[in-house]
Structure formats: C-alpha cells, structure tokens
C-alpha cells in the first residue's frame, strides 16, 4: 500500500495520453499516484518507469489511490470522453473524493458536458475541465493546456499546469522542443493559461480542433492542386512544403506534411506511402461540434464546416468511384509557369488560413457573450504557439493582433492581416479560378474566399432574399430608409396597397 498523503497529484486512466501526462508530471518533480481500471496496465507502467524524478505510485483500487494523494486532492482523469467520465467521477465520489478535492477532466469532452458536470458534482467535489492538445508527444514533453473551471481551484492546479505545458521562447514565441525523458525544458513561457469558468477550457479546445480540421483541409487542397496540375511526385511536393515551412506558413502541420510526403511505402520501396493510403477521411467529432455550435450561434465559420463536409465527401469513397465513371468535368492541362503556380498555391493557402482563424476567433467572441465567459484572445492565441497540433509562427501574429486590440471585431481588420491579404489575394483568386477551370475540388480555398468577399461587402443579396421571405411567408423586411427594427410587410398579391409597418 502506498504511503498516505504523499503524492502531489493523482492520475486515473493509463492509456497512452494518461501515461505520458503522468510521466511529464513526474519529470517535473511531482509525485504522481496512478490508477487504471485494468490493474495490469498500472503494474506494467510502474515497472517500466522505476526512476522518474518525482516518483510514480501505482494503486490497485480507488481508495488507495485517493489516500495516496495530498489533500485537497488534485485528481486528473484521462478516460474515454463520454459516459466513462461520469462513471469514473461517481466511482471516485463513492471511494471518498471530498468536496474540496479538484477533479480535472483532461479528455476531449464536450464543453456542455463539462458545464453540466461542474453543476452536478458541485456538492461532492470541484469538477474542472482542461483541454489538452498535442497528441501523445505533446502529453509527454509539453502539451498546450486550456484549463476551465472554478478560479480558486485553478490557483491550486496552476503550478502543475505551468510546469508540464509546452514552452515557447519569450522573445520569438517559437516552441522550445528540447525535452527528453527525465530532462524537461526549463525556462520559456508556458503554453497554459486559465481560459474561464466551467466549460470554457473544453470549448476553446473544441475551437482549436475545428481550426485544426480546416488547417489540414487547406494543406490537403494545396497538395492536391499541385499534384494534379503539376503532375509531380510526392517527394517533389515534400520539398515544396519543406520550403514553405521556412516562411509565413511555418507550422507543425506543414512540417509533418513535408515529412509524410517523402516517406517511402514499406511494401513498395520504389513508391511513396501517401500514394497508397486510402483517400477516405475519418473523424471523431470535434470539427462537427464546432460547426454545430457555429450554426447555433449564427456565426459564419463556413470554412471550418467545409472542412468537415470535405471529410464526409471523402468518406463516400465507393460512391465517388462510381460517380467518377459517369460525371464529366473539364479536360485540363496546366501549361502555365510552374513556379508561379507554386507561389499562387502558397498564397491561397496563407490567405485561406487567415480567414479560417478569423472565423474561429469570431465564433469564440460570440460564445463568450452567449455563455457568459470573459475570453482573452491574445492569451488563447499565445498558448497555441507551442505544444498543440496547430502550433505555428502565425499564432504569434494573432497574439500580437489581439495584444494591439483586445476587442478586435475580426482578425481580418487587424492592420497586419489586412495587409497580408491585400498583398496576396491576387494569386489566391487565381488559384480558386484555376481550380474551377481545371475541375479540381478545392472547397476550403473557395469557401474562405467567399467568406472574405462576403465579409468585406457592405451590400449582399439578402435584400432579395428578405423580399422572397415576405412574399411567400409574410416574414417582413426592414428598409434602408427606416431605422433598424422597423419591420414592413407588403401584400404582394395586392402590391398597390400601402406597406404595413411594425415597429418591434
């Protein structure tokens, strides 16, 4: 039996993410009590990691597990998102979790569940939700952390979160990625900041994932256009992405894309692995949740939704194969300047990416008003600079934008991003036109451009739409020569009669 009241923190759920977070904590000198439902996993984990700086304490049952942790306890859960979180929370309460104890759900839970759980368990413990991004490697050597919940509870968690989070250079904002087992990064700025009350942390993690969907889709479209129009090998494309990674597009996702594209297929060493991977995307739901939330709040995150739909369309593989034998498109051969096309696709990717992030931040702005949070957008952008999947040089620019103006209405209106699009949009437009002419699907490039053009239009065709709604459903319209809120209706079957005006 473990020494009572000696561990700094308890961690439950020893799948890869849980194991790696426990090792990360132990590397930073925290003593970690660990428990897993299947106790062989706990035993193997302890046996495999005998000499961590902080020390690991393996427990076979929940009461030993709780007894091992100093009070008020900090218990971190990394169990499968969904009903398992409630099941484990209830088991812990049953086993003696106390009201002052903090139970942190670090899984990919829906933020609405976190709000519900905080209320439901409020008289039994302090339930807290923290987004964790960075996959297995991030969890092990420094993830980006998005904690949300009770502010007093946060004060107790903060030293651990700050220690284990990814670090970026204070001057440049670039990730410091030098950690090895037993030797964590020292110094730098932690990619962890308190996001807000109840479900705010999990909400912001969901937005991170929504942005990740569109980031990946945009990279996919750049790859696909270049491959189809230039007819080049994956290895050549790897070199292009490698070069892009040295400029404005410098990011983890571009870096791994360059790596992936040059990987040979283990089964056919003369070929590239990417060409043997089936083009049918799967998803776990965070992009869908982001899009559903955007629809609920009426925020046009059309590119994020487009990225989700692009995965849905890709998943209809057999239907697409059948359709490809029936449906025609243009026969197109690109005979323009090849370097110019590469530059144009780069700019299309960059401008679309700016729009995608503008949409994600626009949605968070609406959410803070809707759910009563006070979000610090500079801080959110800054904790995404390192550790997480969307980490990028670009996020320093977003941090700078919201530092200049914390209430910026839309990222597109920030002077830096405004100028970037101003300078690069000609090639972006040419790529969208070329994709249409060549018959190559590029939905994210196109929807991002439609967002940009729609957002910068003082006039849109919704006047006609409102007239149609009034025509068939008497839904009323507002007029440009009347104050907002004055609703009018015309009896379209008797257009000579005066309009009815209704002031709301």
Q: Supply the minimum distance, in Å, between the C-beta of residue 15 and ligand 2AM.
A: 4
Distance of alpha carbon 417 from alpha carbon 351, whole angstroms: 9
Smaller CB distance to ligand 2AM: residue 44 or 491?
44
Q: What are phi and psi of 145, to 5 degrees?
A: -120, 135
Q: Supply the minimum distance, in Å, between the C-beta of residue 376 and ligand 2AM.
A: 32
Smaller CB distance to ligand 2AM: residue 36 or 133?
36
Strand order in the sheet with 189-190: 175-176, 167-168, 189-190
Give catalytic residues, as residue numbers. Answer: 205, 212
Q: Supply the minimum distance, in Å, between the C-beta of residue 386 and ligand 2AM.
A: 25
Distance of alpha carbon 427 from alpha carbon 341, whole angstroms: 9
Distance of alpha carbon 203 from alpha carbon 367, whole angstroms: 9
**295 scored as a contact of ligand 2AM (CB under 6 A):** no
Q: Supply the minimum distance, in Å, between the C-beta of residue 92 and ligand 2AM.
A: 10
Q: Which stretch binds ligand 2AM (CB under 6 A): 78-86, 366-374, 387-395, 430-438?
A: 78-86
**115 scored as a contact of ligand 2AM (CB under 6 A):** no
By CB under 6 A, name the one of 29, 43, 48, 87 that touches ligand 2AM: 87
DSSP string, 40-60: HHHHHHHHH----SS-EEEES
**79 scored as a contact of ligand 2AM (CB under 6 A):** yes
Closest residue to ligand 2AM: CB criterion: 37
**90 scored as a contact of ligand 2AM (CB under 6 A):** no
In a 3-state reduction of DSSP, which class is residue 223? helix
Cα 138 to Cα 144, 209, 284, 320: the distances in Å are: 8, 15, 19, 36
Distance of alpha carbon 119 from alpha carbon 112, whole angstroms: 11
Q: Where are the alpha helices (DSSP H) in 272-337?
A: 286-297, 302-315, 317-324
488 and 502 Cβ atoms separated by less than 8 Å: yes
**93 scored as a contact of ligand 2AM (CB under 6 A):** no
Distance of alpha carbon 148 from alpha carbon 201, whole angstroms: 4
Cα 168 to Cα 46, 165, 395, 461: the distances in Å are: 31, 10, 12, 46
Q: Supply the minimum distance, in Å, between the C-beta of residue 98 and ligand 2AM.
A: 20
- Count of residues in contact with ligand 2AM, rule CB under 6 A: 13
By CB under 6 A, name the one of 34, 88, 206, 367 that touches ligand 2AM: 88
**80 scored as a contact of ligand 2AM (CB under 6 A):** yes
**469 scored as a contact of ligand 2AM (CB under 6 A):** no
Q: How buried is 283 (Cβ within 10 angstroms: 0-12 exposed, 13-18 middle, 19+ buried)?
A: middle
Smaller CB distance to ligand 2AM: residue 11 or 310?
11
Residues 33-72 that bind ligand 2AM (CB under 6 A): 36-38, 41
**9 scored as a contact of ligand 2AM (CB under 6 A):** no
By CB under 6 A, name the one of 3, 4, 5, 15 that touches ligand 2AM: 15
Which residues make up the interface to ligand 2AM (CB under 6 A)? Answer: 13-15, 18, 36-38, 41, 79-80, 84, 87-88
């Amino acid at each position: 039996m473990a020494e009572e009241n000696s561990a700094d923190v308890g961690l439950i759920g020893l799948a890869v993410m849980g194991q790696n977070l426990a090792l990360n904590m132990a590397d930073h000198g925290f003593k970690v009590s660990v428990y897993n439902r299947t106790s062989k996993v706990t035993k193997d984990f302890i046996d495999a990691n005998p000499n961590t700086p902080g020390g690991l304490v393996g427990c076979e049952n929940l009461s030993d597990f709780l007894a091992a942790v100093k009070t008020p306890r900090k218990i971190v859960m990394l169990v499968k998102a969904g009903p398992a979180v409630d099941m484990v929370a209830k088991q812990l309460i049953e086993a003696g979790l106390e009201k002052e104890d903090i139970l942190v759900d670090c899984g990919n839970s829906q933020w609405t569940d976190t709000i519900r759980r905080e209320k439901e368990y409020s008289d039994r413990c302090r339930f807290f939700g923290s987004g964790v991004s960075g996959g297995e490697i991030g969890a092990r050597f420094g993830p980006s952390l998005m904690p949300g919940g009770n502010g007093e509870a946060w004060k107790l968690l903060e030293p651990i979160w700050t220690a284990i989070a990814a670090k970026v250079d204070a001057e440049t904002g670039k990730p410091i990625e030098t950690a090895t087992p037993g030797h964590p990064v020292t110094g730098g700025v932690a990619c962890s900041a308190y996001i807000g009350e109840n479900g705010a942390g999990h909400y912001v993690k969901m937005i991170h994932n929504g942005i990740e969907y569109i980031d990946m889709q945009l990279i996919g479209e750049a790859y696909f256009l270049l491959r189809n129009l230039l007819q080049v090998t994956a290895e050549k494309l790897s070199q292009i992405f490698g070069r892009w990674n040295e400029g404005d597009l410098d990011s983890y996702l571009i870096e791994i894309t360059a790596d992936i594209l040059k990987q040979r297929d283990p089964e056919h060493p003369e070929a590239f692995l990417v060409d043997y991977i089936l083009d049918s995307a799967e998803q776990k739901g965070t992009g869908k949740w982001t899009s559903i939330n955007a629809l609920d709040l009426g925020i046009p995150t059309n590119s994020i939704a487009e990225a989700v739909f692009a995965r849905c369309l890709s998943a209809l593989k057999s239907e697409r194969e059948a359709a490809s034998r029936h449906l025609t498109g243009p026969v197109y051969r690109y005979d323009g300047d090849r370097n110019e096309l590469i530059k144009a696709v780069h700019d299309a990717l960059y401008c679309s990416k700016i729009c995608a992030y503008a949409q994600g931040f626009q949605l968070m702005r609406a959410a803070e008003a809707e759910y009563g949070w006070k979000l610090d957008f500079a801080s959110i952008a800054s904790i995404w600079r390192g550790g997480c999947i969307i980490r990028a040089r670009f996020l320093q620019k977003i941090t700078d934008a919201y530092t200049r103006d914390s209430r910026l209405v839309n990222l597109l209106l920030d002077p830096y991003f405004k100028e970037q699009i101003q300078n690069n949009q000609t090639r972006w437009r040419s790529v969208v036109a070329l994709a249409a002419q060549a018959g190559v699907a590029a939905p994210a490039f196109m929807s991002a451009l439609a967002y940009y053009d729609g957002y910068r239009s003082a006039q849109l065709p919704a006047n006609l739409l409102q007239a149609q709604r009034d025509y068939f459903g008497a839904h009323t319209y507002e007029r440009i020569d009347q104050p907002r809120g004055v609703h009018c209706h015309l009896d379209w079957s008797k257009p000579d009669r005066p309009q009815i005006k209704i002031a709301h």
